[in-house]
């Protein structure tokens, strides 16, 4: 279940009414919806259609894919023990 909060004159933020997790941004005219990708069950299955608010993009984010990466398991040996309660399938 979600609730919405009119955060500005142009839109609403949708959030989980149980835990407060941000879910999406819904413009007042409701012509589009911007979904928080971290809340999707299978985010890799959806292809982005565009980027929004690019004028406020932090300059170094353009080169993130060039940085070396490592799996979460290497970053945090306890990561396999984490249980998330912020996902919609726990409602």
Count how many domains the chain has: 1
Classify residue 32: in a domain, yes or no.
yes
**Domain-embedded: residue 28:** yes
CA-wise closest residue to 88 among 32, 22, 44, 4 = 22
Mean pLDDT of 14-43: 85
> Greater confidence, 80 or 38?
38
CA distance 88 to 20: 11
Q: So what's the pLDDT on residue 80?
A: 63
CA dist 39 and 84 (Å) reads: 11
Confirm if 55 and 41 have CB atoms less than 8 A apart.
Answer: no
What pLDDT digit, counting tens, does each position of 37-75 carry?
Answer: 877 888 888 888 887 778 988 999 888 889 998 876 655
- Indicate whether 31 belongs to any domain: yes
**Whole-number mean pLDDT of the chain?**
79
| pLDDT value of residue 79 | 56
Cα distance between residue 37 and residue 33, in whole Å: 12
pLDDT confidence of residue 70: 82
CA angle 42/56/86 to nearest 5° reads 30
Count CA within 13 A, CB hemisphere, residue 62.
6
In a domain, 15, yes or no: yes
Q: Answer whether residue 91 is part of any domain.
A: no
Domain range for 15 is 1-39
**Does residue 63 fall inside a structural domain?**
no
pLDDT at 43: 86
């Amino acid at each position: 279940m979600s609730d919405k909060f009119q955060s500005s004159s142009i839109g609403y933020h949708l959030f989980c009414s149980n835990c407060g997790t941000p879910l999406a941004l819904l413009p007042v005219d409701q012509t589009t919806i911007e979904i928080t990708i971290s809340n999707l069950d299978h985010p890799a299955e959806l292809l982005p259609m565009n980027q929004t608010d690019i004028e406020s993009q932090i300059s170094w984010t353009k080169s993130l894919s060039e940085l070396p990466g490592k799996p979460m398991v290497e970053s945090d040996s306890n990561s396999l023990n984490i249980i998330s309660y912020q996902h919609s399938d726990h409602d």
